[in-house]
Amino acid sequence: MFAADCYRWAWAFVKVKAYSFLCILRRGMEQFESIDAGGYPVINGENVFGHLSGFLETGSYSSIFILVDDNTLRHCLPGLIANVEKLQDAEILEIDSGEENKSIEVCTQLWSALGELGADRRSLLVNLGGGVVGDMGGFVAATFKRGIDFINIPTTLLSQVDASVGGKTGVDLGSLKNEVGVFCDPKAVYIHTDFLYTLEQRQLRSGFAEVIKHALIAGKSYWKKVKSVDPAAVDELALLIPDSIEIKNKIVQEDPKEKGKRKALNFGHTIGHALESYALQNSISLLHGEAIAAGMICEAYISSAVAGLSSGQLSEITEFINEIFPPVKLPRTREKELLKLMRHDKKNVAGNINSTLLKEIGKFVTDKECDEALILESFGYYREKVRQDK
């Protein structure tokens, strides 16, 4: 699984890839330079690699490790190394891509590899990848020798708009999502939108689900902006990244440990995570954003039943998500399993299923207890409304 020596192999790509990567660096975008995420910077804009080089110059790290998966090794590492000289001697740790590898078993391999390669408390881990690499790399760094520094260089839309910021790290336990983890902030986050050009359309769309979530909890003006974007166009999606990060960051700053307001960011995730766990258990291909998109339709339905969301806004949300995402199968025969998975959700208290719901687009309520019958009703709504012919 690991290829600590794949560093040499990666170098073989550098010369070829560096040229194409530098070509796409030209495209300018509307970006902020840096925002403070409560003690660490999130860097975006034209000079991301310059900022990263500066950070590494002043960091006095004893050694640097870069965590990649097989896709980011191929698509992202060569461009990074070509542009950031200080990373040219870094050790590369490679994992297999995919949610099924966000596991404690892979963490064990990573902790061992770090030890064998001489990592010490002044080592730095660079997480170069999507939410899987970021969540797991952050957890490995937070726990190795009681904690070493790490930075995130998110390479998927989902991780650029959401997962790389906010300090949640962790892994799945079997099929239970994010069951083991810690809150631990990176030293910095470096967002380079050019990484998105090698991402598959399906992965881009998955990231767009988190953007939709931000719009639904944040307000009508962002919702309007999000609705006007072509979700298949990287250049247009990249324009949404600063807004999404600002929305997430503002909420996280007010409630870093998810005691209250931060639960807003879980809209769509009570049902979405259950669908994702169910898919993991049954080897069904379902991306995080695809599960969350279905979860948002169901939870919007529940919102209209008990939280005051108007039927007009419910239809608007349903139609918009339905236009973009393929339908998720919600088999009637497996509903009990899904409810059981929902009872595991970390937001629950005393065995009840709690959820974040919408009062209207841009206004949410957290910790709303959801009746199981109503959740099943929302599945019925989903089946009825979501076109099955796509």
Q: Which residues bind ligand NAD (CB under 6 A)?
A: 69, 71-72, 75-76, 97-99, 102, 129-133, 135, 155-156, 158-159, 162-163, 166, 168, 177-178, 195, 198-199, 203, 206, 288
Using CA atoms, how far apart are residues 272 and 382, in angstroms rounded to an integer? 13
Rounded to the nearest whole angstrom, what is the least distance from the CB of residue 385 to ligand NAD in the complex? 25
CA 304 to chain centre: 27
Cβ proximity to ligand NAD, 17 vs 368, nearer residue:
17
| One-letter amino acid of 302 | I
Cβ proximity to ligand NAD, 221 vs 232, nearer residue:
232
Rounded to the nearest whole angstrom, what is the least distance from the CB of residue 220 to ligand NAD in the complex? 23
At residue 324, the 3 state secondary structure works out as: helix
Cβ proximity to ligand NAD, 130 vs 295, nearer residue:
130
Cβ proximity to ligand NAD, 135 vs 345, nearer residue:
135
Rounded to the nearest whole angstrom, what is the least distance from the CB of residue 236 to ligand NAD in the complex? 17
Query: What is the DSSP secondary-structure string of 188-245?
Result: EEE--GGGGGGS-HHHHHHHHHHHHHHHHHH-HHHHHHHHTS-TT-HHHHHTTHHHHH
Residue number of the CB closest to ligand NAD reads 131
Computed from CA positions of residues 111, 114, 118, 124, in that sequence, does the dihedral angle turn out positive or negative? Answer: negative
Cβ proximity to ligand NAD, 99 vs 185, nearer residue:
99
| CB 374, CB 302: distance < 8 Å | yes
Measured N-to-C along each axis, helices 201-218 and 311-324 cross at an angle, to the nearest 10 degrees, of: 160
Rounded to the nearest whole angstrom, what is the least distance from the CB of residue 80 to ligand NAD in the complex? 11
Rounded to the nearest whole angstrom, what is the least distance from the CB of residue 248 to ligand NAD in the complex? 8
Query: What is the DSSP secondary-structure string of 1-55?
Result: ---TTHHHHHHHHHHHHHHHHHHHTT------SEEE-SSSEEE-STTHHHHHHHH
Q: Of 188, 8, 151, 7, which Cα lies nearest the Cα of 93?
A: 7
Cβ proximity to ligand NAD, 234 vs 314, nearer residue:
234
At residue 304, the 3 state secondary structure works out as: helix
Cβ proximity to ligand NAD, 45 vs 129, nearer residue:
129
Rounded to the nearest whole angstrom, what is the least distance from the CB of residue 296 to ligand NAD in the complex? 14
CA gyration radius, the chain: 20
Rounded to the nearest whole angstrom, what is the least distance from the CB of residue 206 to ligand NAD in the complex? 5
DSSP 187: S
Q: What are 290's two structure tokens? A: 């695809």
Rounded to the nearest whole angstrom, what is the least distance from the CB of residue 102 to ligand NAD in the complex? 5
Cβ proximity to ligand NAD, 182 vs 371, nearer residue:
182
